[in-house]
Chains A and B, each alone.
Chain A
């Protein structure tokens, strides 16, 4: 049962343009959402998060948007840089739960110079 879904396995954008990665979830108990970035041969690293009390969180070139009614979140990277090329995982958890997290299948972003 995939509670967190990333329907695009890959995305390719030109350097300098905006990258938009999407994520949908099904469990209405989720109230904390995270994006992780993974380079080859390394573990995922935390990138940015958002609580369900917000609809936007921005950190430099990275912005996460949350639409609770649609159970949808997205990660915007602007401007995209070649070093952003990686696999991006969306994750969700329930604050006050057991500290576990559910991940999507990941989207491989390629930023072309």
Chain B
């Protein structure tokens, strides 16, 4: 298995532009998570899905952020409009279990976003 796939790996954009980050989870995993890593706050959970349904989006910082999971093999995180403070590394992770047991999550390589 190729693992969790994220694209693009690097994104540089200007303030005010729309940014779309993409994630393909590991096949068969039914939970998908979006995280943001910053120096100040470490690894923050933004939103997660179980069976393509958003469960908790309380970590999404503002209405400028939105996430979708139209099917089991694809998710997007969109920022519109982007701001310099959104600059961070964004990780997608997937997990094979809905609840209970070992909740190990498998992370993608991340997308490094820079908003100028």
Among residues of A, the one whose C-beta sits closest to the C-beta of B112 is A41
Q: What per-residue 1/0 map shows which CB atoms of B71-101 lie under 8 Å from chain A?
A: 0000000000000000000010101011111
CB < 8 Å A-B pair total:
71
Instruction: Report chain B residues within 8 Å CB of A104.
Output: 42-43
Q: Known A43-B4, A45-B107, A46-B104; judge A100-B55 contact (CB<8 A).
A: yes
Cβ contact within 8 Å between B107 and A101 = no
Within the assembled complex, what's the spacing in Å between the Cα atoms of A9 and B93?
Answer: 23
Q: Known A43-B110, A105-B43; judge A99-B95 contact (CB<8 A).
A: yes
Main SS of the interface on chain A? loop
Instruction: Report chain A residues within 8 Å CB of B105.
Output: 46, 101
Q: What per-residue 1/0 map shows which CB atoms of A1-42 lie under 8 Å from chain B?
A: 000001000000000000000000000000010101000011
Please name 9 pairs of A and B residues whose Cβ atoms are closer than 8 Å in the assembled complex, sorted by A: A32-B102, A41-B109, A41-B110, A43-B107, A43-B109, A89-B43, A101-B105, A103-B43, A105-B43
